[in-house]
Amino acid sequence: MNKVPPALKQRLPALGLVVSILLATLGSGSSKAQTPSRNSLVRSPQTKIKVSPGLPGLQGSDGKTVAVILQLNGPPTGRLNALLQRNGVRVKNHFRNLDSFSVELPQNLIEELASYNEVAFVSDDAEVEAQGHVSLTTGADAVRQIESSGLIPTLNGSGIGIAILDSGIDAGHKSLQARQTRQVINRDFTGAGATLDPFGHGTHVASVAAGYNFAAANEGIAPNANLINLAVLNGRGSGSASSVLSALDWVLTNRSIYNIRVVNMSLGTKAVMSYRDDPLCKAVRRLVDAGIVVVVAAGNEGKDVSGRKVYGEIHSPGNEPSAITVGASNSYGTDVRSDDTIATYSSRGPTRSHSTDASGVRHYDNQIKPDLVAPGNKIIGAESDRNFLVSNYPDLNTVANKGDNVQAMYLSGTSMASPVVAGAAALMLQANPTLTPNLVKALLMYSAQKLPSANIFEQGAGQLNIEGAVRLAVLVRRDLTPATPVGASMLTTNEAPEPITTIARESFAWAGRINLGYTFATGTDLITEYQGVYGTGLMLSDGIILGDGMILSDGIILGDGIILGDGVMLSDGIMLGDGIILGDGIILGDGQVISDGIILGDGIILGDGIILGDARIRANAVLAFGDNTLCMN
């Protein structure tokens, strides 16, 4: 581990120059994109392409109509307004809080649309689909015993609104019915006019986050949180990006009315566009900047049809740095955590979304994701009445709980892991309503448990530990503001809490680190001293500045006491360090070299089988790419 001294900080720009030259010589994380027809959309080599690779080709003038998401960076001019009013062009929706529109127009107008200066990006209105004993093993039961100075005798999510963007919620299910002051708000964004979950996914997700005990004695994480049911998927579990954007736009408008502090999205699409361009990612950033914690499923593409590990398949909007992206662990049905592993299907990082410049070169995001993992395998949850999933897959039914409004079913996936974290966030915010989304995320990662059998691209910081995260949340000062100086005391106590949690009579140490986009940081200063990146309107990764290999921790956003990990990713995805190395199309993790590309580490591996040094190639996994189909996670 390397602490960054002030003297080194002054030399880092020069170091960055050396590294960038090295990376350019080796041909680092960029590759030629097969989209030469799009070069006419830009005016200089430095300008990036403003059209998603998910859209059909721009050539031809057959007038075929396509649905797109139009993002603006300024008010529309007369020329753009004129185009939007032409025959054959239809503005379906205006997402006012997101500076975006849903538009149908002839395919041959896309190039002209993208050429206007006020147009930031044009992407396809992609199809979306769902991604598919917990309270004890995650530490939620232990949280029930925590008291916040007598102010909150029971932590159950009361007063916190959790928005569930999914296939709807069967609010008549016993585990989801209103009790005490609980509310269930229903809104439909599919156009079908139904919110009762004929598919079956959303009800299960909602019960994992906030269901309370029914006949199965399976309780959700925050069983008295208010549920905001925003249906964006239809009765077959599919929807559109525009439906999701409509729901997120509604959340921004109504967040204060329903105290929406957490949003869960157990859905996603192939992450093709860079998070800087992806409309779903940019919408998530707006919510996080507004003080809303956004939890997203990582995806279920952690292995191929042959069962081999697949890296680089984090879904959108899970590739958004400000989101809490959740992978799935397998608890094997036990309460103890010593046997837990990463679920084989859970999508692994790094993020392989990209932008394309005028020369046709792709620049990959290569962010560390997921941020953490939570139990997601064979999770028992509420079963909506006569739903599609159980009707077609009756084995999903549990044996017990036969009867009206008490049925339960099994589901597996990062879709089930995500609401576990969403419920945990609700408990943290009930314990301390002043927490920012970045602080919630940082405390979740810091208190997580590292699983010994998984690398950073499989588990992020580690497996969710709700007891530790809530214990930290209770201790955080409630008077922190953006004006609080970096390095000021962050806790109400003089000492950090003991970084150990005991669950099911087994004790484990906290991970004690947080992911910072391209690297990670560790040290007790992360929880004892206020860091600028914990404020609203920033990303945790803002603490690390990377530009062509330059790394800087300037003592303003991150304090000098923070220690940066040895495994640091530089420039377009090369990472130098201690066993986890990323290049263009290659990962070295736990002694394994995956696919082919470039590795710098114990040895230097160039290309497909050229070895310099003592590293060995073991090609037993692949780095995968995919199309832009949206799916459930």
pLDDT in tens, 570-615: 434 444 343 444 333 344 333 333 333 333 222 222 233 323 333 3
Identity of the highest mean pLDDT range in 153-157, 364-368, 477-481: 477-481
Q: Mean pLDDT score of the chain, rounded to an integer?
A: 78
pLDDT of residue 543: 59
Query: What is the distance between the alpha carbons of residues 591 and 574, in angstroms, rounded to a whole number?
Result: 17
Q: What is the pLDDT of residues 226-272, one digit of tens each?
A: 999 999 999 999 999 999 999 999 999 999 999 999 999 999 989 99
Q: Is a pLDDT exceeding 80 seen at residue 549? A: no
pLDDT of residue 280: 97
Contact 438, 536 (CB under 8 A): yes
DSSP β-ladder status, 30-32 and 361-364: antiparallel
pLDDT of residue 395: 87
Report yes or no on 189 lying in a domain. Answer: yes
pLDDT of residue 631: 54
Instruction: Name the domain boundary from 475, 494, 525.
Output: 475
Report yes or no on 573 lying in a domain. Answer: no
Query: What is the distance between the alpha carbons of residues 583 and 292, in angstroms, rounded to a whole number?
Result: 33
Q: What is the mean pLDDT of residues 553-561?
A: 56
Report yes or no on 396 lying in a domain. Answer: yes
Q: What is the mean pLDDT of residues 412-440?
A: 96
Q: Is a pLDDT exceeding 70 seen at residue 445? A: yes
CA-wise closest residue to 558 among 502, 486, 468: 486
pLDDT of residue 56: 63
CA-wise closest residue to 518 among 533, 540, 486: 540
- Tokens, residue 36: 């030469």
Residues 160, 300 within the same domain:
yes
Residues linked to residue 3 through DSSP beta bridges, in sequence order: 563
Q: What is the mean pLDDT of residues 146-164?
A: 77
- CATH number, domain of 92, equals 3.30.70.80
Percentage of residues in the chain having pLDDT higher than 70? 72
Domain range spanning residue 312? 129-439+446-475
Q: Is a pLDDT exceeding 70 seen at residue 513? A: yes
CA-wise closest residue to 314 among 459, 192, 411: 459
Q: What is the pLDDT of residues 33-57, one digit of tens each?
A: 433 333 333 333 345 688 887 776 5
Write down the number of H helices and E strands in the chain: 14, 38
Contact 460, 442 (CB under 8 A): no
Report yes or no on 593 lying in a domain. Answer: no
Q: Is a pLDDT exceeding 90 seen at residue 124? A: no
pLDDT of residue 577: 42
Identity of the highest mean pLDDT range in 54-63, 71-80, 274-283, 569-578: 274-283
**Amino acid making up residue 368:** I
- Tokens, residue 20: 């960038």
pLDDT of residue 403: 60
Q: What is the mean pLDDT of residues 3-8?
A: 34
Q: Is a pLDDT exceeding 60 seen at residue 548? A: no
Residues 317, 338 within the same domain:
yes
Report yes or no on 546 lying in a domain. Answer: no
Half-sphere exposure of 218 (CA within 13 A, CB side): 26
Residues 51, 159 within the same domain:
no
Query: What is the distance between the alpha carbons of residues 363 and 444, in angstroms, rounded to a whole number?
Result: 30
Residues 110, 133 within the same domain:
no
Instruction: Name the domain boundary from 108, 125, 142.
Output: 125
**Amino acid making up residue 324:** I
- The count of domains in the chain is 2
- CATH number, domain of 407, equals 3.40.50.200
Report which of residues 224 and 38 the model is more confident about: 224
Query: What is the distance between the alpha carbons of residues 401 and 399, in angstroms, rounded to a whole number?
Result: 7
pLDDT of residue 333: 80
Residues 107, 147 within the same domain:
no
DSSP β-ladder status, 293-297 and 324-330: parallel
Residues 87, 144 within the same domain:
no
Cβ-proximal residues to 155 (8 Å cutoff; 6+ apart), any chain: 143, 144, 146, 148, 427, 430, 431, 470
Query: What is the distance between the alpha carbons of residues 85 and 45, in angstroms, rounded to a whole number?
Result: 32
Q: Is a pLDDT exceeding 90 seen at residue 130? A: no
Contact 470, 155 (CB under 8 A): yes
pLDDT of residue 182: 73
Contact 549, 25 (CB under 8 A): no
* pTM more than 0.95: no
- Per the listing, tokens 């008291």 go with 147
Query: What is the distance between the alpha carbons of residues 476 and 499, in angstroms, rounded to a whole number?
Result: 15
Report yes or no on 485 lying in a domain. Answer: no
Residues 228, 182 within the same domain:
yes
Contact 604, 612 (CB under 8 A): yes
- Per the listing, tokens 């361009």 go with 277
pLDDT of residue 334: 81
Band of the pLDDT at 564, cuts 50, 70, 90?
low
Query: What is the distance between the alpha carbons of residues 423 and 444, in angstroms, rounded to a whole number?
Result: 12
pLDDT of residue 143: 80
Residues 307, 249 within the same domain:
yes
Query: What is the distance between the alpha carbons of residues 159 and 93, in angstroms, rounded to a whole number?
Result: 32
Instruction: Name the domain boundary from 73, 106, 125.
Output: 125
Residues 258, 355 within the same domain:
yes
If DSSP codes are grouped into helix, strand and coil, which group holds residue 139?
coil
DSSP state of 237: S
- Tokens, residue 559: 């304090």
Q: What is the mean pLDDT of residues 289-304?
A: 96
Query: What is the distance between the alpha carbons of residues 267 and 631, in angstroms, rounded to a whole number?
Result: 6
C-alpha to C-alpha distances, 296 to 219, 367, 617, nearest whole angstrom = 21, 15, 34
Band of the pLDDT at 562, cuts 50, 70, 90?
confident
SS (H, E, C) 430-478: HHCCCCCHHHHHHHHHHCCECCCCCCHHHHCCCECCHHHHHHHHHHECC
Report yes or no on 67 lying in a domain. Answer: yes
Query: What is the distance between the alpha carbons of residues 38 and 570, in angstroms, rounded to a whole number?
Result: 29
**Amino acid making up residue 292:** I
Q: Is a pLDDT exceeding 70 seen at residue 146? A: no
Half-sphere exposure of 480 (CA within 13 A, CB side): 29
Residues 121, 134 within the same domain:
no
Contact 378, 412 (CB under 8 A): yes
Q: What is the pLDDT of residues 184-220, one digit of tens each?
A: 799 999 998 888 999 999 999 999 999 986 544 578 9
Q: What is the mean pLDDT of residues 287-301?
A: 97
pLDDT of residue 181: 60
Query: What is the distance between the alpha carbons of residues 424 and 250, in angstroms, rounded to a whole number?
Result: 23
Q: Is a pLDDT exceeding 90 seen at residue 31? A: no
Cβ-proximal residues to 88 (8 Å cutoff; 6+ apart), any chain: 63, 65, 105, 106
Band of the pLDDT at 518, cuts 50, 70, 90?
confident
pLDDT of residue 622: 42
Band of the pLDDT at 453, cuts 50, 70, 90?
confident
Report yes or no on 2 lying in a domain. Answer: no
Identity of the highest mean pLDDT range in 323-332, 335-344, 538-547, 593-602: 323-332
Residues 388, 402 within the same domain:
yes
pLDDT of residue 164: 98
Contact 451, 463 (CB under 8 A): yes
Report which of residues 291 and 181 the model is more confident about: 291
- Tokens, residue 534: 């914990």
Q: Which helix (H) or strand (E) holds 251?
A: helix 241-258
pLDDT of residue 623: 40
CA-wise closest residue to 553 among 573, 523, 583, 588: 523
Q: What is the dihedral of CA 355, 631, 297, 434, to 10 degrees?
A: 80
- Per the listing, tokens 């993992």 go with 373
Residues 279, 171 within the same domain:
yes
